[in-house]
Chain A
Amino acid sequence: MQFLKHTNQRNSLWITLISICSGIQIVLALSLLVKFIPLKVDTIFLQQPDAQQRLRPEFEVLLFSLGLVSVVVIQSILVWVLRRRMTQSTLETRLKSFLIIESILVFVLVSAWYKTIVYDYRPFLANVTLIVFLVLSLLHKIFYKDVSNLFSTLHALIARYKQHAQAKLVLTLVSVLAIAGIIYTPDIDGSLARMFIGEQFHHWDIFIMSPGWAALNGHQMNVDQISQYGVGLPIMISHLAQLMGGFTYHNVLWIFVVMTVMYYVAWFLILRRWWGGLGLVMAAIITGLRVQMFHPGVYPSVLTYPSSLVIRYFFDVIVFWAILNHLTDHRRGWLWAAAFSSGIAIFYMDSTGLFLTVTFYAYLMLRVLIPHPKQFFFYKFKDIAVVIALLSVPLITAGLLFYLAVGQHLFTAVFWQNMLETIDYFLSGIGTYPMYESFKYHMFFPGVVGFIIPVVYVVTMLFVSTLCFWKKRDITHLLIVILCVYGLGLNHYYIARSLQTSYYVAGLPFIIVCFYWVREFIGRFSPQQQRAMTGWVLALSIYALATTHMFMAYPNMFNISRHPLTDPHVALPLPTDGAPYFNHLFRKEGEETKTALNNLGQTDEQLYRESDFANDAALRDYYDQEFDFNQDAALIEHYTAPQDQVALISSFETKILMQANRRPFFYYFPLVNSRPMHMRSLTVNFLHTSTERFLEVALNQLHHKAPEYVFMEKIFLTKDIPKGYLDRPENIVPILNYINQHYHPVAQGKYLVALQRN
């Protein structure tokens, strides 16, 4: 390139870039200062008829001009000072290292400034970052020699200890602790309190608490009780919680958090073993965390939506660990382990388990097809039997576990009909969105990414497997091929429900595939360059994680606030309109769907918002008080025996039954969608329970089993059901009518009323 042929040309370029960086810093500093200067307007303009609309005095032109002048002045000074050394290559080295630090500072400064605009309703953190980094920029210019020396020392230190086994171990441990620190939330009750007031445990009850409680009480999943997320998951998690001291919301959340930590640490160890180096592995895991746990689709926290947590596909880590081991040491035991784990995964959650099993089958097929020097696999005719056995193990394991869980029902049509009920709804189009949905709303970037993900998977899968087939890649690269197969499987969720960033729910395989290519690209450079590039990638991944508001709001040990759930500096408002998150689902509900009084005979609905709580402790106290249904549990205990199934129609029915230590009665459990108990509105049932089948099942149960007592919220006794409520498609009026016809009230608790059969 003719512009950069000579050293002095290159030095001129570095000086120019340094001047521009300094100019940007000056402009940003001035932009903070001018906020204190009031903008004045000449009176002649104020007299104009449309002055209010058209007068918008601003400092932008002045700031830009000052920035321009500063760049020219700084450049002139630098060129003058360095005029005799312009042809020296040593100057180039120094200028480059100075420029790197300046670029980083500018990058952070500009992004902080950008965040002050994007989060202009809460710019506090971004403003602080801006000021801190402006000060650092100034300090860098004063102490640049010391900073340079510091970096050289650090660089030498890394080079010295890079091969040191103990240093490697310490760094690995630090990385594991960092992953755990990012995911682990010390304030479990605080998180639960936010879920309670934010969305009334809607997702939690459906996913685990309701089926889990039923499973713990001996109910069979999808026979006695609906379980939308597989048969095994509620059984396994509820019993695990029982071992941990009891099946409570607290213990289950703790288990989920710990399982998430274990999952990410396990992937860290898999990648560490596979790729060797630490920097790129850590970068991949951090980016994976950023994408999978802290994307806008899981607002306000991924913990609110257990189905978006990695526990959904927890067993994949075991299968991939086994396959990696098989690829490296070729012992068949690993294959049996992978096959067995795939079977457990099907039982645990059928959809993700099946994808994992297909992945395992893909691996087996590739090993049969791809020639390998060792010929350890399928080189004798008798190996056909082994392959067939390996193919059968997942299905046999899953079948056995299903049999243990539901017994003879496994062979009934009703069980499979129940198993497929949710999937059938999904496949028939309920809640599905086409992949081009994002384009309709001009959200091109999320829309394009939705298409890019399967393209990356398919191209990687084809390319790397063909390379392995022609022996142009080591056989261990097959791991990325099967990861693509698995990723394509998990991506089914997005294909059916293509909502903005929902592909990130299962985003970790995609990130690993991307980093596989990053690693391949970096591998083409010299070791020194590789180190530098890895450092940059790691720094970028940390930046991406640390600056996302979803991460800043997450109540982990790195949160800068001591009250992350209520502190307005970090707690996120609703992304759509900036309104408070607490009680957001019901705040806008109109009077036309409401009754005159609530369950307690009051008019105050107590729909609190974040600002109503002094701190997180106040929020926890509120949760402890409001989520305690002691009086209602006592009412149920009084009228029913411990072995009875209790027909309960109420918000928070799962928690009430847990406190009363009684089994649920209805197949559809939870029957209704919880809403705050103080509200003057009737509850609604779920979308999928608005069908003829639901009413048929629920009414049949009430009619045929004819429970002696039925419990429901007092508000359901009202004779004047609001007209607005009757217009809602998902109301439960037919069930209430049946109860009012066949039952009469006998006693009251705090929120509930007990009704006896006539």
Chain B
Amino acid sequence: MDYTRRNISWITAAAFLLAVEFLILIVWGFGFIPIETAPIAKGVVPQLLQLFKPEREITLYRLAIVAAIAIEVGLCIVFRRHIATKDLASSFSLWVTNASVWISLQLIAAFKLLQYQNPAWAKGLFYGAGICFVITQIFWPEIRKFMEKHAQPSWVKTNTQHIIVHVGMLIVIGVLLFIPGLNRTVSTQMIAAILYFWILYLLLVLWFDSVMFAVFGVVIAIKLNLFHLGQYPIYLMNLSSTGLANPWDLAVFFLIWQHIHRHKEWLLTLAGTLCAMAVVSHFASGLALTFAWLGYIVVHVVQSPSKKDVLLQLRAWGIVYVVVLCVVQWQWGVQGVVMQQWLMMKNGWDALPIISCLYMHQFFPFWLALLIPLVYVAIVVWGSTLLTVGTLTAVYVFLIPMAIYGLGWYYVFLYRSLISTYYAGILPFIVIALCVLKYVVMTYISDRWRSRLLILLVAGSVLFLLTNNMYLVYRNNAHAVFKTH
């Protein structure tokens, strides 16, 4: 192992971070000194004088470069005797991890200050992160010891501790979404949303056996489902464009997961009943859920050693589903809904082409919108082939109905390609992405970096949610829209 090379990498990273911090400091400091108009601009006619925008960027640029060089040289001189030692890299890596967190926060805050015209919270974040950076430098030996000790956090050991953590997380989710003082109807919808994400959190804990994964998943789901521009001014006005349009999906997938592990046939019967109910709740996604359920049944039939019994059972599931659907149809007239939906779709009523977002220069969402169905199709088709060759794992079995459900939602988006329909059915993709993270990405990363990566992902997702403008105006908008004051 070439320790010198590794140490130099970390020293360079540290020098670079310190130079960035220095740049932040001088930009902040220069902010208090007004820029005077240069003498040469005198005599310029007033109409043109407005084109003079004096700035200090060149000075700052040069100072930052000089600082980076000076710091690198300084660090090399200070650590010259340890340059080939093994320990230098590990201590530097801890420092770099710590510093990059605070500096990143400062940069994000600076970006938000520019983007949203100096909001107070961004100023708070900027100064807060700066102060934290300084404090961590002062108490670095203690912090370093703490970080080394908890390189692989294992704070939660007993069942009681587990319960405390989960209850704590549920409270946090509630606090994130709860707004007091709304009228009863809106409050009911808000509580429904909280409940939905509580259940999602618990299911993610169940599916991934990790609090960190669950927190990461649920925070991303809240952000993508409830707080995007398609939900302007507030998601509570349009719950049908959120995951709550069809809350049966969580129950169905919970039952499918349970069936994969417990093999109780009544679980699938119950899932079928819920699918039929889901068709009433939200026709398109209900249909998608039904197909997901059927997809899982196909996998189950193929995998089952006693196909005869399963086929008999299949008949029972079919009967239950049809009976429930008939009752529902009799009660609410589903047939009419189906015909209406079909006619509207056939004639392109309220349809929007997927390329419409390109005309608004939304390149990233456009390509992602094309990538997502490919991921779903690949999972279903590859899974089917693995099923044929007999090497399908339990985790993969769960992904197949999830991908089918995602494909169903994708039809909704494809028909009406809006940002709201894009994010309404994002849940399957989040679950699949978490699976890829856990079963593919994490296998390439060492234990120490795995926990660091997870902490960063969770912190990043929380920051992503909390600094989003839609979330920042959430409470104000709720009160403004529903006129509670």
Q: Give me the interface of A with B, judged by CB distance under 8 Å.
A: 1-3, 6, 8-9, 12-13, 15-17, 19-20, 23, 39, 41-42, 45, 54-58, 60-61, 64, 68, 71-72, 75, 79, 83, 86, 117-118, 421, 424-425, 427-436, 439-440, 442, 454-455, 458-459, 461-463, 466-467, 469-470, 472, 488, 491-492, 495-496, 498, 687, 690-693, 729-730
Within 8 A of A (CB), among B312-360: 343, 345-355, 358
**Which of A12, A56, A459, A693 is B348 in contact with, Cβ under 8 Å?**
A56
CB contacts (< 8 Å) of B443 on chain A: these are 1
Min CB–CB distance B36 → chain A (angstroms): 10
CB contacts (< 8 Å) of A3 on chain B: these are 393, 396, 439-440
B4 engages A427 (CB within 8 Å): no
Residue B55 is within 8 A (CB to CB) of chain A in the complex: yes
A462 engages B72 (CB within 8 Å): yes
A56 engages B352 (CB within 8 Å): yes
A434 engages B61 (CB within 8 Å): no
Given contacts A39-B348, A466-B12, A693-B43, contact A687 B19 (CB under 8 A): no
CB contacts (< 8 Å) of B54 on chain A: these are 428-429, 432
Within 8 A of A (CB), among B24-70: 37-38, 40-48, 51-55, 57-58, 61, 64-65, 68-69
A495 engages B61 (CB within 8 Å): yes
A459 engages B76 (CB within 8 Å): no
Given contacts A58-B348, A462-B68, contact A16 B58 (CB under 8 A): no
Q: Which of A16, A421, A462 has the most CB of B within 10 A?
A: A462
CB contacts (< 8 Å) of A459 on chain B: these are 12, 16
CB contacts (< 8 Å) of B16 on chain A: these are 455, 458-459, 462
B57 engages A434 (CB within 8 Å): yes
The stretch of B382-390, B418-426, B451-459, B465-473 that contacts the partner chain: B382-390
14 residue pairs A–B, Cβ–Cβ below 8 Å: A2-B393, A12-B385, A12-B389, A19-B381, A20-B381, A54-B349, A55-B347, A56-B348, A432-B57, A436-B114, A463-B8, A466-B72, A488-B65, A498-B57
**Which of B8, B388, B407 is A467 in contact with, Cβ under 8 Å?**
B8
Given contacts A39-B348, A434-B57, A472-B2, contact A15 B68 (CB under 8 A): no
The stretch of B153-161, B171-179, B372-380, B475-483 that contacts the partner chain: B372-380
B353 engages A45 (CB within 8 Å): no
Q: Give me the interface of B with A, judged by CB distance under 8 Å.
A: 2, 4-5, 8-9, 11-12, 15-16, 19, 37-38, 40-48, 51-55, 57-58, 61, 64-65, 68-69, 72, 76, 83, 111, 114-115, 343, 345-355, 358, 361, 373-374, 377-378, 381-382, 384-386, 388-389, 391, 393, 396, 407, 410-411, 414-415, 417, 439-440, 443
CB contacts (< 8 Å) of B43 on chain A: these are 691-693
A58 engages B353 (CB within 8 Å): yes
Given contacts A3-B393, A71-B377, A439-B111, contact A458 B350 (CB under 8 A): no
A15 engages B385 (CB within 8 Å): yes
Min CB–CB distance A7 → chain B (angstroms): 10
Q: Please report the C-alpha to C-alpha distance between residue A455 and residue B65 in the assembled complex, in whole angstroms.
A: 10
Min CB–CB distance B416 → chain A (angstroms): 10
Given contacts A428-B38, A459-B16, A492-B61, contact A434 B55 (CB under 8 A): yes
B41 engages A429 (CB within 8 Å): yes
Q: Please report the C-alpha to C-alpha distance between residue A6 and residue B392 in the assembled complex, in whole angstroms.
A: 11
Q: Please report the C-alpha to C-alpha distance between residue A15 and residue B415 in the assembled complex, in whole angstroms.
A: 29
CB contacts (< 8 Å) of B353 on chain A: these are 56, 58, 60
CB contacts (< 8 Å) of B417 on chain A: these are 60
Q: Please report the C-alpha to C-alpha distance between residue A411 and residue B415 in the assembled complex, in whole angstroms.
A: 75
**Which of A42, A56, A435 is B351 in contact with, Cβ under 8 Å?**
A56
B52 engages A492 (CB within 8 Å): no
In the complex, the chain A residue whose C-beta lies closest to that of B43 is A692
In the complex, the chain A residue whose C-beta lies closest to that of B417 is A60
**Which of A12, A42, A463, A496 is B12 in contact with, Cβ under 8 Å?**
A463
Min CB–CB distance B377 → chain A (angstroms): 6
CB contacts (< 8 Å) of B391 on chain A: these are 6, 8-9, 12
CB contacts (< 8 Å) of A434 on chain B: these are 53, 55, 57
**Which of A79, A462, A491, A690 is B44 in contact with, Cβ under 8 Å?**
A690
A12 engages B378 (CB within 8 Å): no
A470 engages B8 (CB within 8 Å): yes
Min CB–CB distance B446 → chain A (angstroms): 16
**Which of A55, A64, A440, A730 is B414 in contact with, Cβ under 8 Å?**
A64
B61 engages A433 (CB within 8 Å): no
Min CB–CB distance B306 → chain A (angstroms): 24
CB contacts (< 8 Å) of B40 on chain A: these are 421, 424-425, 428, 691
A45 engages B347 (CB within 8 Å): yes
Min CB–CB distance B207 → chain A (angstroms): 16
In the complex, the chain A residue whose C-beta lies closest to that of B386 is A12
In the complex, the chain B residue whose C-beta lies closest to that of A83 is B388
CB contacts (< 8 Å) of B65 on chain A: these are 454, 458, 488
B351 engages A58 (CB within 8 Å): yes
Q: Which of A42, A429, A433 has the most CB of B within 10 A?
A: A429
CB contacts (< 8 Å) of A13 on chain B: these are 382
Min CB–CB distance B390 → chain A (angstroms): 8
CB contacts (< 8 Å) of A72 on chain B: these are 381, 384
B76 engages A469 (CB within 8 Å): yes
CB contacts (< 8 Å) of B53 on chain A: these are 429, 432-434
Q: Please report the C-alpha to C-alpha distance between residue A495 and residue B406 in the assembled complex, in whole angstroms.
A: 45
Q: Please report the C-alpha to C-alpha distance between residue A693 and residue B43 in the assembled complex, in whole angstroms.
A: 8
B377 engages A68 (CB within 8 Å): yes
CB contacts (< 8 Å) of A55 on chain B: these are 347-349
Q: Please report the C-alpha to C-alpha distance between residue A6 and residue B386 in the assembled complex, in whole angstroms.
A: 11
Q: Please report the C-alpha to C-alpha distance between residue A217 and residue B273 in the assembled complex, in whole angstroms.
A: 94
In the complex, the chain B residue whose C-beta lies closest to that of A471 is B4
CB contacts (< 8 Å) of A455 on chain B: these are 16
**Which of B52, B111, B354 is A430 in contact with, Cβ under 8 Å?**
B52
Q: Please report the C-alpha to C-alpha distance between residue A160 and residue B19 in the assembled complex, in whole angstroms.
A: 50
Min CB–CB distance B367 → chain A (angstroms): 9
Min CB–CB distance B380 → chain A (angstroms): 8
B414 engages A60 (CB within 8 Å): yes
CB contacts (< 8 Å) of B51 on chain A: these are 430-431, 687
Min CB–CB distance B123 → chain A (angstroms): 17
CB contacts (< 8 Å) of B414 on chain A: these are 60-61, 64
In the complex, the chain B residue whose C-beta lies closest to that of A78 is B385
Given contacts A41-B348, A431-B51, contact A20 B388 (CB under 8 A): no
Q: Please report the C-alpha to C-alpha distance between residue A458 and residue B15 in the assembled complex, in whole angstroms.
A: 10
CB contacts (< 8 Å) of B2 on chain A: these are 472
B377 engages A57 (CB within 8 Å): no
Q: Please report the C-alpha to C-alpha distance between residue A269 and residue B188 in the assembled complex, in whole angstroms.
A: 72
Q: Which of A1, A439, A691 has the most CB of B within 10 A?
A: A691
B350 engages A54 (CB within 8 Å): yes
B345 engages A61 (CB within 8 Å): yes
In the complex, the chain A residue whose C-beta lies closest to that of B390 is A8
A463 engages B9 (CB within 8 Å): yes
Min CB–CB distance A637 → chain B (angstroms): 37
Q: Please report the C-alpha to C-alpha distance between residue A505 and residue B247 in the assembled complex, in whole angstroms.
A: 54
Q: Please report the C-alpha to C-alpha distance between residue A498 and residue B58 in the assembled complex, in whole angstroms.
A: 11
B439 engages A1 (CB within 8 Å): yes
CB contacts (< 8 Å) of A463 on chain B: these are 8-9, 12
Add 13 more A-B contacts to A458-B19, A463-B9 (CB < 8 A): A12-B386, A20-B378, A41-B347, A54-B349, A58-B348, A60-B414, A75-B385, A79-B385, A79-B388, A118-B358, A429-B55, A470-B4, A729-B47
Min CB–CB distance B198 → chain A (angstroms): 31
In the complex, the chain A residue whose C-beta lies closest to that of B8 is A466
CB contacts (< 8 Å) of A690 on chain B: these are 44-45, 48
CB contacts (< 8 Å) of A693 on chain B: these are 43
Q: Please report the C-alpha to C-alpha distance between residue A459 and residue B69 in the assembled complex, in whole angstroms.
A: 10
Given contacts A3-B439, A58-B353, contact A462 B37 (CB under 8 A): no
Q: Please report the C-alpha to C-alpha distance between residue A210 and residue B393 in the assembled complex, in whole angstroms.
A: 76
B385 engages A467 (CB within 8 Å): no
Given contacts A9-B391, A56-B353, contact A428 B48 (CB under 8 A): no
CB contacts (< 8 Å) of A20 on chain B: these are 374, 377-378, 381
A16 engages B382 (CB within 8 Å): yes
